[in-house]
Amino acid sequence: MTLELDRLNRTYGSIRAVADVTLELPAGPTLALLGPSGSGKSTLLRLVAGLEAPDSGRIRLAGREITSVSPQKRGFGMAFQDHALFPHLNVEDNIAFGLVERRWPAAARAARVKELLELTGLPGIGKRRVHELSGGQQQRVALARALALNPRILLLDEPLSSLDRELREHLKREMADLFARLELTVIHVTHDQSEAFALADDLAILRDGHLVQHGPAAALLARPRDPWTARFLGYRNVYDAGADGRPGPVLLDDGRVGLEPGEGATVTHVAREGLEFTLELALDGWDSPLFWSGHVRELHATPAPGDTFSLRIPEHAWIPLS
Ligand code: ADP
Ligand code: MG
């Protein structure tokens, strides 16, 4: 069930929230729609959901155009930040909301709700009021509600961003397991790179409404398209004007760089987190520093500013950018 977005545009006044986005999503893999705040992620997801209409462009599902099909008829599940739970309903009634709309008989509804509570790790709390729940439980209820009608595609907008870090880590793992088990196509909007890598098979990166790059997460990490994308994905050693005699823009993956006793690179700053060190190194003939992170055991001794090393840079540590 391939979902095709074909040259979608949506503007608000002078802002191009979604600019000419073309994207083909086969059924199955989880896609993270990743971009900084204001890059158009939520707008794009609302277009896919049918909550908003594009100014131009088409959306097709399995070859059939659905651009002006209502959200209910698209058969997508949604859990959005701004689609909060109904505070006046208890957990069961929140989850059953779509089932009631579809006139499911009471017994079938109750059985489905029970199944969903178990699936999302919430057995036994069906009668609770929403305001009695923790943030994590509310998020699970929203997920259960989104899954109630066995959607073909699940749309999630920053579902974890309101949770504290520990809970987020926990739910992240559970969601990844759940999505794999249900064989759902998931589009997961997030501005958080680590969340995207934890949950998604594929990434689509948005910048100022434009789709910058799309592909398997590992492929994007191995070959970011341009300096902006490389930095956004977390790379620190991006040299717009080149480095070490190489033309720019180029990226140096410090994970592949070895440090040895010697000369050539001088430590200018040391940051430490547990046994992990991040060094900032000034290099002869380079116009900007190299950041290097690694375990203390790779360094032989505790590093300090002024220490010098020689670098071992294998050819494949250099990644050309365009
Ligand atoms: P993201 O989800 O990536 O943070 P959004 O899709 O919410 O980005 O917003 C993209 C751009 O469109 C932003 O500049 C935002 O201010 C603007 N925008 C989004 N929704 C509206 C709206 N309903 N009215 C006016 N501007 C909007
Ligand atoms: Mg958003």
| pLDDT 10s digits, 104-125 | 999 999 999 999 999 898 988 9
| Of the listed ranges 125-129, 234-238, 243-247, 296-300, the one predicted with least confidence | 296-300
CA dist., res. 186 & res. 151, Å (int): 10
- State the pLDDT confidence band at 171, using cuts at 50, 70 and 90: confident
> Can you give the three-state secondary structure of the chain, one letter per residue?
CCEEEEEEEEEECCEEEEEEEEEEECCCCEEEEECCCCCCHHHHHHHHHCCCCCCEEEEEECCEECCCCCHHHHCEEEEECCCCCCCCCEHHHHHCHHHHHCCCCHHHHHHHHHHHHHHCCCCCCCCCEHHHCCHHHHHHHHHHHHHCCCCCEEEEECCCCCCCHHHHHHHHHHHHHHHHHHCCEEEEEECCHHHHHHHCCEEEEEECCEEEEEEEHHHHHHCCCCHHHHHHCCCCCEECCCECCECCCEEECHHHCEEEEEEEEEEEEEEEECCEEEEEEEECCCCCCEEEEEEHHHCCCCCCCCCEEEEECCHHHEEECC
How much distance in Å is there from the Cα of 45 to the middle of ligand 1? 11
Q: Which of 8, 41, 43 to mutate to test the pocket of ligand 1 (most atoms within 8 A of CB)?
A: 43
Tokens of 42: 């939520």
Output the pLDDT for position 180: 85
Which atom of ligand 1 is the closest one to the Cα of 209?
10
- Which ligand is in closest contact with the Cα of 210? 1
**Residue nearest atom 27 of ligand 1, based on CA coordinates:** 12
Does position 30 have pLDDT exceeding 70, yes or no?
yes
Which atom of ligand 1 is closest in space to residue 191's alpha carbon?
Answer: 3
Ligand 1 atom 21: the closest Cα is on which residue? 12
Q: Whose atoms come closest to the Cα of 206: which ligand?
A: 1
Task: Read off the pLDDT band of 8 (50, 70, 90).
Answer: very high
Quote the pLDDT of residue 178.
Answer: 87
Cα within 13 Å of Cα(171), Cβ side: 23
Does pLDDT of 86 surpass 80? yes
Rounded CA-CA distance 130/133 in Å is 6
Residue 203: both structure tokens together:
């990434």
Q: Give the CA dihedral 72, 78, 84, 85, nearest 10 degrees.
A: 70
Band the pLDDT of 294: cuts 50, 70, 90: very high
Determine which residue's CA is closest to atom 6 belonging to ligand 1.
40
- Give me the pLDDT at residue 155, please: 96
For the chain, the maximum distance between any two Cα atoms, rounded to a whole number of angstroms, is: 77
The pLDDT of residue 152: 87
For 176-213, the pLDDT digits (tens) are 888 888 878 899 999 999 999 999 999 999 999 999 99
pLDDT the model gives residue 1: 84
| Model pLDDT, residue 182 | 84
- pLDDT of residue 163 exceeding 80, the answer is yes
Q: What is the pLDDT of residue 301?
A: 85
User: What pTM value is reported for the model?
Assistant: 0.91
Per-residue pLDDT averaged across 17-28, rounded?
Answer: 95
Residue 167 above 90 pLDDT? no
For residue 35, give the ligand 1 atom closest to its CA: 3
Closest CA to 149 of 107, 80, 82, 102: 102
Q: Which atom of ligand 1 is nearest to the CA of 158?
A: 2
Percentage of the chain surpassing pLDDT 70?
99
Q: Output b/e per residue, 242-264; b: 16+ Cβ within 10 A.
A: ebeeeeebbbbbbeebebeeeee
Closest CA to ligand 1's atom 5:
40
- State yes or no: pLDDT of 293 exceeds 90: yes
pLDDT > 70? residue 83: no
What is the structure's pLDDT at 228? Answer: 98
Distant-in-sequence, close-in-space partners of 140: CB < 8 Å, separation ≥ 6: 120, 121, 122, 171
- Tell me the best of 8, 12, 212 to mutate to test the pocket of ligand 1, counting ligand atoms within 8 Å of each CB and taking the most: 12
* Ligand 1 in reach of 28 Cβ (< 6 A): no
Q: Which range, of 152-161, 168-177, 228-237, averages the lowest pLDDT? A: 168-177
Question: Among residues 70, 66, 61, 43, which one has the least CA distance to residue 152?
Answer: 61
As given in the structure block, the two tokens for residue 130 are 């929403």
Mean pLDDT, the chain, rounded, equals 93
Q: Which residues contact 105 (CB under 8 A, 6 or more apart)?
A: none
CA 56 to chain centre: 26
**Nearest protein CA to atom 26 of ligand 1, as residue:** 12
Q: How far is the CA of 204 from the centre of ligand 2 (A)?
A: 15
Residues in a beta bridge with 267: 281
Residue nearest to atom 25 of ligand 1 (CA): 12
Give the number of whichever ligand sits closest to the CA of residue 37: 1
Burial label, 70 (beta-carbon count in 10 A; 0-12, 13-18, 19+): exposed
Atom of ligand 1 nearest to the CA of 40: 6
Residue for token pair 């001088």: 266
* Ligand 1 pocket check for 19: Cβ under 6 Å: no
Ligand nearest to the CA of 36: 1
**CB of 190 sitting under 6 A from ligand 1:** no
- Residues 80-105: what's their mean pLDDT? 90
Cβ of 17 below 6 Å from ligand 1: yes
Ligand nearest to the Cα of 41, by number: 1
**Mean pLDDT computed over 54-59:** 98
Does the pLDDT value for residue 82 go beyond 80? no
